[in-house]
Structure 1
Amino acid sequence: MKRLTVVLLLIASSAFGQSKVNVTRQTQWVDSVYNKLSVEERIGQLFMVAAYSNKNEAHVQSLEKLVQEQHIGGLIFFQGGPVRQANMTNRLQALSSVPMLVGIDGEWGLNMRLDDTYRFPFNMTLGAVQDLDLIERVGVAMALQTKRLGMQFNFGPVLDININPKNPIIGVRSFGETREIVTERASAFTKGYQSQNIFATGKHFPGHGDTSTDSHHKLPVIDFDKGRLNRVELYPYKKLFEEGLSSVMIAHLNLPAYEPNDIPTSLSYNIVTKLLKEELGFEGLIFTDALNMKAAANYLKPGEVDLAAFKAGNDLLLFSEDVPTALTKILESYNAGDITEERLSHSVKKVLAYKYKSGLTKFTPIEVNKLVEDLNAPVYDDLNQKLYQEAMTVAKNEDRLLPFKNLEKQKIAYMRLGDDSGADFLNMLRNYAEVTELTDVKPDSLGDLSQYSSVIIGYHKVDNPWRKHDMSDAEKAMVRNLSAKTNTVLVSFAKPYALETVPLDKVNALVVGYQNNKFAQEAAAQVIFGAIEGKGKLPVSINKNFTVGTGIHTKAINRLGFSTAANEGMDPNVLSKIDAIAQRAIDKRYTPGIQVLVARHGKVVYQKSFGYHTYDKKTTVQNTDIYDLASLTKILGTLPVLVKMYDEHKVRMDSKLGQLVPAMKHTDKEDITFRDLLTHQSGLTAWIPFYKRTLADNNRPDPSLYSYFYTPEYPTQVSENLYIKKGYTDEMLKQIGESTLSTKKDYKYSDLGFIMMKEFIESKYHKPLDQVADSEYFSKIGAWRMTYNPLRKFDINVIPPTEEDNYYRYTTVQGYVHDMGAAMQGGVSGHAGLFGSALDVAKMMQLYLNKGEYGGDRFFSVNTFDAFNECVYCTKGSRRGVGFDKPQKPGSAGPTCGCASMSSFGHTGFTGTMAWADPEKDLVYVFLSNRTYPDSNVNNLSKGNTREDIQQVIYESIKN
């Protein structure tokens, strides 16, 4: 009795932080229940039988019979679904006089067994993670899911040290090949798991890692001496026992060092009692591994194997093949005195104590409402994303190829190998650069690869731990031949062991992604481009050149990455309100379609598209679609170049317009300063309808000024099948010079200043503005979808139209700039003409938010940015920075929700666009639409405050 009291005390409190229980009350309850049970009912408590929620009614009725007649102590669930399992558990628990312990073997989450449930990384993937706090969080998450499904056990952690890469049954179920890797992660997992008052189970004792035999089929031999076993296999158990591990599962192994009689470890008194209990001092609950496994079942008949397991010292007999026979065998042995009352009560009272500890004094039915939703809560995505990002392992990186830099010099291709999809990988790669997918390429006929600076090879295997992941000979040849021709980056989304025989000597960089899913693929792509660090380390050896612990730490280089809202301190439930606001705008026909992007801390946390290109609803908006950015051109195309020129002392804030643009000499505009021009304090008129002077009496383009086809005299394309006379920009500049200039010099927004800045930039760079902006910025930061005149690079189907023009061009404006003045300049102007996706815009805004640094490059100094973001004339009633729009003062009208900080900056555009960044909240917000389609007469988008309302939600979602 003294020994049992010690056991109950251990159960009541552990170093892993399980909640304390009243030991006296626990003992009283255990004794009371035990004393009410008959001997047969006590023996029934020893059985934990297999249950399947995907089987028929006959299976359920057979379990009901075991509950009612054999009084079984527990259930271990296998395949099925969560709602079916919950209903089945409720039904069976209602019939049990003593509530049953319920468990599942879900090592990477419930999804190992159940559909419609969540999948966490395999243990070997976690073995690459160096942040043990994250492993602890996995334990907490799995425990919460276990508890939600009415269970007390999810059998783990796996303590097997997978020293043998040919191990057919453990493999990626193990944390790694060293005792330290396994122990540290198992300890962290158990701490988190048992903190939720759910029991962890170390398995498979005494260690199944260094074997080449699957115990499901026959008995593996672990033929090492006691010194090796104590030093390696038993090491994690001893450590976790010290920390309060609740339970252990005994494997079916042949362990000659401790059991010389070829008795399976699960049936061996020498192993279970003498080694585990007495030598190692373990007092927790002891499970057998499944007794239907051939390693045990081949040794003794059903019933006999259960009796032997109990005599060996096990407390709970898992997956008995014949409970009635087994119960009879144990009862006969008890009656014959072979099993003492002390032995029986020791295990039964231990089982009852665990029931008390887990709150099973009375069963509370599992609530099935929202069960699937709860088991797949978004918080698990938050954790999974962090885990995979931390696991990504750069095992090789010749000449520091990764992360890719100098994107303007890169031309990148991607080739998929394997038998599973790499769509998420390719899509994420294309968030950073234009990547060409190579298809239908043979190992012996690769074609001309000289055009590519690097080829990324993605090796994708079905995310299943039981399947072989080895490369075929043809795939190895492909890797060998590709790496001989060009720089290659091999990214493996498979078991690390799959790389053992792959020719890696010529590969320039190797990234081990471990698993083939969205989280791993997106994380690997971000490592390649430096949006996140490469921090993982190999938990096992691939070969002699890539041994356990290999991992090159690659740095992040301030490129926009991807995260979840919660991981960046935002409430995803609040942020999701954007959906309804955007959809309302679509439904009310404020605009046919919308793109919205939110980034925080340099990570995109929200990116969605809504609606269609037009109201005929034929083409849905995609995140990769390219919108006419309208006046966002000012701060995304023209201003960055001016900022750079200022930083290089090519222009000053007090530089005069007459000096910058010769056409303004000898006009009343010549003394306007650079600062006043960009802060809209120059007195310039808002705009000039240049196109109206080019219309004939019938309001159609004047034939003397336009041609419907290209000629050297009419070289500048205005829209499809419309070209304007050569040199007409000079006429536009003349009109600006002759325009009325206000003498008040008060704030008045004007396009004209930026139109003239195009002339200034081109005169200094000796090439067109679009080429300057691209070479200096867009191509360098990977904003490869941002361009002027997008039809020169992209299909018209990815560009939403902006208007049905019935006043000037008399055509559908699609792929050509909406702004008439910019169109007359060939689609390239200082105030309009730029096209791009929300992600492109966000990259430029992030560059500003970083005060001139992006992708490892510095484009301009911090002081320079601050000079342009200063609200120079705020005291005079203006809210403008130098080029940037700024937020309105509280209580007044303006471009923002009124919630942005005064250090924030951005711009809005006529076609229904907005880009805004806030340094104080480390926030970027982009809204793109084509609200001008089919016509721009009424700006309902602005009247409906759609952009502002979304921005308000974004700020409301910020928690910290």
Structure 2
Amino acid sequence: MSDLRTEAPITRRQALATAGAALTLALGACSGAPASETPGEGPTVSDRPSGEGEAPEAEPVDPLTQQVEAALAKMSLEEKVWQLFVVRPEAVTGVSVQTAAGEATRKALAERPVGGICYFGANLTDTDQTRKMLSNTRDYAKEINGLPIFLCVDEEGGTVTRIAGNSAFGVDDMGDMCDIGATGDTDKAYDAAAYIGQYLTYLGFNVDFAPDADIANNPDGTMGQRSFGATADVVAPMVAAQVRGFTDAGILCSAKHFPGIGGAVGDSHDQSIYSDKTLDEIREEELRPFEAAIEEDVPFVMVGHLSMPEVTGDDDPASISSELVTDVLRKELGYEGIVITDSFEMGAATSALDTAGLAVAAIDAGVDMVLMPADLVAAHQGVVDAVGSGELTEARIDESVTRVLRVKLGRLG
């Protein structure tokens, strides 16, 4: 067992230096002198009489778009649908608690090439074990379909830690975000995110489901410690700072839980949660931290299971609501990144529909990735069957897979 402090000495500003050095190397590798013109091969445009033989100027081709389109074209419908799921490792391999990745993991990923895996405390023993497990999983996934895999964790600090809560990793817990918010100092929010991102990146993770963008404006709610504060004026700049911190540390992050569950009564892990606010009311407060995250190019937005009947006209959770996902998040806020649900193992989700129905409804609503369905095989088959029946179109699947591929190929390589 090794101490992460020993393996990778950490300062809160080190993430910037590390990211800067990596960027310099990347830019140096990609740079090169432009090819020179060969004289005598024909007249240049300036040599020709005006208007004679001039071809219209071609639109520049985006290499990433070409790469994404090529990858998408090679995928079967079943392979595309697998990319829309982020699951616990046990959902792929079938073991009771996974703490290693070997040949069984390789075979399981070949059968179920999911878009991502989310790890919890039971999966993470110490630095060496975690680095080896994640490295092997990353290599297997790339070998199987040529694509990076999202290796995810919930590491907010304070009450939500999978790494800092385990002394075997030897890292500091950044504490509850409410305490950082109370300082009013966005540099502290940035430093906490950069620090967390740096040690997660070292371990091999590439996605952290943080920061929490909820506004804890209900004293009876459950988000008081995790939220930066009780008003948008406090929370929004803190969230923006954390997105910058995670990004500078080289890890993808996710603003959560859209459209903002901090004012809800109850816990979505166990039961349905509601808000009676109108769309105009959440525009004034709850949506502002998400707008701040979007302005910082946050790669993921996680949609919670909050029911908002005054907005949607029914009791469906936000995670399967086209009014909230497509009309508000996509169209009104202009978000173009990956929309992922909160866990579909939660009571607030499972009380609405069965496993397959939830996955289909979420994608139909505009969601790109489904997090931890209660039954992965049933959820996958439900989406495939929905395309076969015409309930979903393959074009709709392609839309979400394209977003996933753009992030994977553009930001993970």
Q: TM-score of the superposition, structure 1-length normalised? A: 0.34
Match of residue 105, structure 1, among 154, 175, 190: 154
TM alignment of 1:616-635, pairs within 5 A? none
What is the deviation of 1:307? 1.5
User: The residue matched to 1:76 in structure 2 has which SS?
Assistant: strand
Match of residue 75, structure 1, among 106, 114, 117: 117
User: The residue matched to 1:258 in structure 2 has which SS?
Assistant: helix
When residues 233 and 335 of structure 1 are mapped into structure 2, their CA distance, relative to the original with a 3 A threshold, is same
Structure whose residues are more often helix by fraction? 2
* One-letter amino acid of the structure 2 residue matched with residue 239 of structure 1: A
Distance 1:267 1:258 in 2: 13
2:205 matches 1:151: yes
Q: Is contact 1:164–1:209 with CA below 8 Å preserved after alignment?
A: yes
What is the deviation of 1:129? 2.0
**Superposed CA offset, 1:351-380 (max 9, x none):** 1111112334xxxxxxxxxxxxxxxxxxxx
Aligned to 2:134: 89
Q: Is contact 2:99–2:129 with CA below 8 Å preserved after alignment?
A: no
What is the deviation of 1:265? 0.7
When residues 58 and 156 of structure 1 are mapped into structure 2, their CA distance, relative to the original with a 3 A threshold, is closer
Q: Is contact 2:80–2:401 with CA below 8 Å preserved after alignment?
A: yes
When residues 110 and 40 of structure 1 are mapped into structure 2, their CA distance, relative to the original with a 3 A threshold, is farther
What is the deviation of 1:61? 8.1
Aligned to 1:46: 84
When residues 146 and 286 of structure 1 are mapped into structure 2, their CA distance, relative to the original with a 3 A threshold, is same
User: The residue matched to 1:229 in structure 2 has which SS?
Assistant: helix
What is the deviation of 1:93? 2.8
Distance 1:123 1:328 in 2: 39
TM alignment of 1:656-735, pairs within 5 A? none
Aligned to 2:192: 138
* One-letter amino acid of the structure 1 residue matched with residue 139 of structure 2: A
Distance 1:183 1:171 in 2: 15
2:300 matches 1:247: yes
What is the deviation of 1:341? 2.6
Aligned to 1:34: 72
Aligned to 2:39: none
Q: Which has the higher contact order (CA 8 A, sep 6+)?
A: 2
* One-letter amino acid of the structure 2 residue matched with residue 87 of structure 1: K
Distance 2:260 2:103 in 1: 37
User: The residue matched to 2:80 in structure 1 has which SS?
Assistant: helix
**Superposed CA offset, 1:365-416 (max 9, x none):** xxxxxxxxxxxxxxxxxxxxxxxxxxxxxxxxxxxxxxxxxxxxxxxxxxxx
* One-letter amino acid of the structure 1 residue matched with residue 283 of structure 2: N
2:216 matches 1:162: yes
Distance 2:314 2:101 in 1: 38
**Superposed CA offset, 1:319-364 (max 9, x none):** 122121111111111122222232111111111111112334xxxx
Distance 1:110 1:44 in 2: 31
Distance 1:128 1:108 in 2: 15
Distance 2:338 2:104 in 1: 27
Q: Is contact 1:286–1:315 with CA below 8 Å preserved after alignment?
A: yes
TM alignment of 1:907-918, pairs within 5 A? none
Distance 2:100 2:204 in 1: 23
Distance 1:327 1:147 in 2: 29
Q: Is contact 2:210–2:255 with CA below 8 Å preserved after alignment?
A: yes
What is the deviation of 1:196? 3.2
**Superposed CA offset, 1:551-578 (max 9, x none):** xxxxxxxxxxxxxxxxxxxxxxxxxxxx
User: The residue matched to 2:355 in structure 1 has which SS?
Assistant: coil
Aligned to 2:269: 216
* One-letter amino acid of the structure 1 residue matched with residue 247 of structure 2: Q
Aligned to 2:14: none
Distance 2:353 2:108 in 1: 22
TM alignment of 1:719-868, pairs within 5 A? none
2:336 matches 1:283: yes
Q: Is contact 2:158–2:177 with CA below 8 Å preserved after alignment?
A: no
User: The residue matched to 1:286 in structure 2 has which SS?
Assistant: strand
* One-letter amino acid of the structure 2 residue matched with residue 104 of structure 1: V
**Superposed CA offset, 1:854-900 (max 9, x none):** xxxxxxxxxxxxxxxxxxxxxxxxxxxxxxxxxxxxxxxxxxxxxxx
Distance 2:330 2:118 in 1: 24
What is the deviation of 1:58? 10
Distance 1:252 1:236 in 2: 18
Distance 1:260 1:154 in 2: 33
Q: Which runs of 5+ in 2 are unaligned?
A: 1-19, 31-60
Aligned to 1:359: 412
* One-letter amino acid of the structure 2 residue matched with residue 136 of structure 1: Y
* One-letter amino acid of the structure 2 residue matched with residue 161 of structure 1: I
What is the deviation of 1:130? 3.0
Root mean square deviation, CA, Å: 2.7
Aligned to 1:179: 232
Q: Is contact 1:51–1:78 with CA below 8 Å preserved after alignment?
A: no
Distance 1:75 1:336 in 2: 29
Distance 1:302 1:49 in 2: 13
2:357 matches 1:315: no
TM alignment of 1:546-565, pairs within 5 A? none
**Superposed CA offset, 1:193-230 (max 9, x none):** 11234222111000111122000001111111222111
User: The residue matched to 1:351 in structure 2 has which SS?
Assistant: helix
TM alignment of 1:201-600, pairs within 5 A? 201-360=254-413
How many residue pairs match? The answer is 343
Q: Is contact 2:154–2:162 with CA below 8 Å preserved after alignment?
A: yes
Q: Is contact 1:207–1:233 with CA below 8 Å preserved after alignment?
A: yes
Distance 1:271 1:356 in 2: 28
2:167 matches 1:129: no
**Superposed CA offset, 1:49-106 (max 9, x none):** 1137992579988865552212111111111224333322233333322331111111
Distance 1:186 1:43 in 2: 31
What is the deviation of 1:244? 2.1
When residues 88 and 31 of structure 1 are mapped into structure 2, their CA distance, relative to the original with a 3 A threshold, is same
User: The residue matched to 1:358 in structure 2 has which SS?
Assistant: helix
Aligned to 1:191: 244
When residues 150 and 359 of structure 1 are mapped into structure 2, their CA distance, relative to the original with a 3 A threshold, is same
**Superposed CA offset, 1:2-58 (max 9, x none):** xxxxxxxxxxxxxxx997999822222212221111111111001111137992579
Q: Is contact 1:249–1:289 with CA below 8 Å preserved after alignment?
A: yes
